[in-house]
Chains A and B, each alone.
Chain A
């Protein structure tokens, strides 16, 4: 089969030309129109430019005020954390047998990494291991050895550091002390109060208080030392490879971390692997979820509840009174901060509406004046849709240019003008705004600029909205122009 290349070429060229004409000609016409009517475009554009500029400035101020209020209130709320626990399944047969047989499903690191760290507002997750196998301690108190079984937690350095006494901070490296003979231990305040009560009842010569456990002259600045048995119980089980270690009290922990003692997490992992096997050794009984700032508190808790609904067997959420309280407070503040924004939103909507109105009426007027021209377009073969596209394209073209101009004007105003002429800018503001600024101590230039910063992503979004609104508001006049009878409009 012979194919004539020239013929194929000519056919391809013909269709390319058709497509080119269909696409490029409307663009050509509207470029021609805007070039010849520069003043008309300028007048419409001025409205859009002013609108975009003022909306951007207003939203920046609204965001700034919201940020200011939030930061002010949240600085008074302490940093918060949420605790999650592994799930414990009790055997349904326990009811009848009277035994307590239960299975525990711990939290694994892949689960935390996949589901919890991806929640918005979560800063970090600190997993905590708990040794459930026998660990016992021998405390030398009141000239006798107090033997007792304890629950031990594994704490990572990040969490442990702030509980360690300042005098021990340089001496013990919490992370690497696990391999040495001397074990640094954090004791729960719960145990200390128990000892205190004992000392009161025994009518002792030495009063036991918090000072007793610290490095003082009484213990030769060596700290309070005691024996720690890993794998050995005072009352029951003695495992084969039980270890005996010397331990030092290096700090007190909060009761919400543990009611027993806390050890370096490496040591706990090692003992767990040793006595309970590799599978349980690398899982966690509980974890602390640290939140970036208190604004995210409510959203994180709701996200965790949602996750709990999805994976009911994976973890338990600990919702104590404190967490519930913080959650309610953060809910309240979030809703209060939104009320700052509402007037700004209304203001910017009004401006956008007004600039749309300008475009609408301007194009209505223009179409009345250009009726004859549009009639001629239709007479020379333009379809109604083409005419509509032509006019809407013209509006889009104008509003796009003006939105870009408004964007750069707003940027110049916030980034360059305000820092340079800050004092004259303050004079421009109304007295009420000034008083608000002074109550929040935002009067100074530095603090003001730190909060009222130019958000380019938001400004770009506003520009896109303005262009859309501009082109849409020219749509109705375009339809009116396109659906007029040719004869009437040509003979006008």
Chain B
């Protein structure tokens, strides 16, 4: 489904070129629940940003369902946005819009959207467990609810793949568990593929594919070995 070929990334900083990602090869199949682990500064977020289209890789190729994803190409990136959902670590909700307005925001910029935006948005909110909160503002919600809202926004375009950048990084253990359960349910029931960067032990046990990033080099890990990892 998603295939990365020799993706590498380097930044120019103070006239010095520092390489962050070294020739990353990765393949994710449909229905997978894959996890990327790694220390901070190992290049996890950079990799996710490249997949999401917010960063341009220095070299390498990317395929989604055997289609080449070119970087920063408007027409192709529209295809990417339709098929890939993104969940931020710091939620990135707009303060002065209500929950419902926030989650149907992607519809305002796409041509493929259902006629009744609001009804569709309320249905998605039910799925995430934010029923009856559609007219609340982000300031009125707790951290877990904010993250649910962000997940609902990622789900609104019916994506085939959802990328999550440390979705439980800012949350306590209980709410993190709830969020993880939502991910697992969506993966099992709706057959949505997940690619998650996380430190959470619980979600690692549910993953069927796991990788570790160490100084920009991606390595495969078996799920059995995950518990003994340093980063966990």
Does B105 sit within 8 A of A, measured CB to CB? yes
Among the listed A36, A377, A382, which residue makes an inter-chain contact with B96, where contact means beta carbons less than 8 Å apart? A36
A386 to B55, CA, bound (A): 21
Are B108 and A487 in contact, with the CB atoms below 8 A?
Answer: no
Question: Which label, helix, strand, loop or mixed, suits the secondary structure of the A interface?
Answer: helix
Among B77, B88, B105, B107: residue with most chain A CB under 10 A: B105
Does A379 sit within 8 A of B, measured CB to CB? yes
Q: Which chain B positions have C-beta within 8 A of A491?
A: 90
Does B109 sit within 8 A of A, measured CB to CB? yes
Does A18 sit within 8 A of B, measured CB to CB? yes
Among the listed B55, B77, B90, B113, which residue makes an inter-chain contact with A487, where contact means beta carbons less than 8 Å apart? B55
Are A32 and B97 in contact, with the CB atoms below 8 A?
Answer: yes
A32 to B109, CA, bound (A): 14
Are A25 and B109 in contact, with the CB atoms below 8 A?
Answer: yes
Are B111 and A32 in contact, with the CB atoms below 8 A?
Answer: no
Asked whether A376 and B105 contact (CB < 8 A) given A36-B97, A487-B49, the answer is yes
Among A21, A37, A377: residue with most chain B CB under 10 A: A21
B interface size (C-beta, 8 A):
24
How would residues 209 to 221 of chain B score, 1 for a CB under 8 Å from any chain A CB and 0 otherwise?
Answer: 0000000000000
Give residues 98-146 of B contacting A (CB, 8 Å). Answer: 101, 105-111, 113, 115
Among the listed A17, A380, A487, A490, which residue makes an inter-chain contact with B109, where contact means beta carbons less than 8 Å apart? A380
A265 to B179, CA, bound (A): 104
Smallest beta-carbon distance B194→chain A, Å: 19
Does B94 sit within 8 A of A, measured CB to CB? yes
Are A486 and B54 in contact, with the CB atoms below 8 A?
Answer: yes
Does B78 sit within 8 A of A, measured CB to CB? yes
A376 to B115, CA, bound (A): 22
Are B109 and A373 in contact, with the CB atoms below 8 A?
Answer: no
A interface size (C-beta, 8 A):
25
Are A37 and B88 in contact, with the CB atoms below 8 A?
Answer: no
A75 to B86, CA, bound (A): 79
**Nearest CB in chain B to that of A37: its residue:** B96
Q: Which chain B positions have C-beta within 8 A of A377?
A: 105, 109
Does B81 sit within 8 A of A, measured CB to CB? yes
Does A381 sit within 8 A of B, measured CB to CB? yes
A21 to B109, CA, bound (A): 8
Q: Which chain B positions have C-beta within 8 A of A146?
A: none
Are A487 and B54 in contact, with the CB atoms below 8 A?
Answer: yes
Are B110 and A381 in contact, with the CB atoms below 8 A?
Answer: yes
Q: Which chain A positions have C-beta within 8 A of B55?
A: 487
Among the listed A32, A380, A487, which residue makes an inter-chain contact with B101, where contact means beta carbons less than 8 Å apart? A32
Q: A21-B111, A381-B110 are in contact. List 13 more A-B contacts (CB 8 A).
A: A22-B111, A25-B107, A25-B108, A32-B101, A37-B96, A376-B94, A377-B109, A380-B109, A381-B77, A381-B81, A383-B74, A486-B54, A490-B92
Q: Which 3 A-B residue pairs are closest in the complex by CB-CB distance?
A: A382-B109, A380-B106, A36-B96
Q: Which residues of B contact A (CB under 8 A)?
A: 49, 54-55, 74, 77-78, 81, 86, 88, 90, 92, 94, 96-97, 101, 105-111, 113, 115
30 contacts between A and B (CB under 8 A): A17-B111, A17-B115, A18-B111, A21-B111, A25-B107, A25-B109, A28-B108, A32-B97, A32-B101, A36-B96, A372-B94, A373-B94, A376-B94, A376-B105, A379-B54, A379-B86, A380-B81, A380-B105, A380-B106, A380-B108, A380-B109, A381-B78, A381-B106, A381-B109, A382-B108, A383-B74, A386-B109, A487-B54, A487-B55, A490-B54
